Amino acid sequence: MTVGSELRLNRDAEATGVTPMRHALSAFLDAIAVDQDTRDDILIAVGEAVANAVEHAYCGSSPGMVQLYARVDDARTLAVEVVDRGEYISRERRDGRGFGMRIVRSVARAVAIETDGGTRIHMLFDIASAADTP
């Protein structure tokens, strides 16, 4: 029943936007009856991806946008994309950093990154939406 539900948020990539974007995703997941633990895991992974766009994408250039797109693909899959139009910074893991993408990979069922004209992180999450169980 919740298949096709989606949330698309376009915002300036700024640190103050991370919390309200996460809250919007949280309320979206509640509205499609995703259970709390699953919701919280998705929030942290997507939060890391959005924080990366804010922190890294427009480093040195003028600040641009970040887009969050979440979609219920089928009754058991939430697809999320976090997109910016900045520049991907490829680098060795720094000491005491680099946990963001590690968290994303721990939580998501699948992760793909495109770094062409910005960074686009695709994530798939398992959801067992309570609203879809008979």
Distances (CA, A) of 84 to 47, 74, 124, 129: 14, 26, 18, 29
Dihedral Cα 128, 113, 95, 14, nearest 10 deg:
-80
Q: Which residue in the set 15, 33, 40, 57 belongs to the binding site for its own copies (CB under 8 A)?
A: 33
Of 5-13, 36-44, 104-112, 116-124, which part binds its own copies (CB under 8 A)? 5-13
In whole angstroms, the minimum distance from the beta carbon of 37 to ligand ADP comes to: 22
Beta carbons of 51 and 90 less than 8 angstroms apart: no
Q: What is the pattern of x (binds ligand ADP, CB under 6 A) and - over residues 38-57?
A: ----------x---xx-xxx
In whole angstroms, the minimum distance from the beta carbon of 7 to another protein comes to: 18
Cβ-based neighbours of 16, under 8 Å, separated by 6 or more: none
* Residue where the block lists tokens 């959005």: 50
The structure tokens listed for 76 are 């058991």
Residues near another protein (CB under 8 A): 15-16, 18-19, 22, 37, 40-41, 43-44, 47-48, 51, 54-55, 96-97, 99-100, 102-103, 106-107
- Which residue ranges make up the site for ligand ADP (CB under 6 A)? 48, 52-53, 55-57, 84, 86, 88-89, 91, 97-101, 119
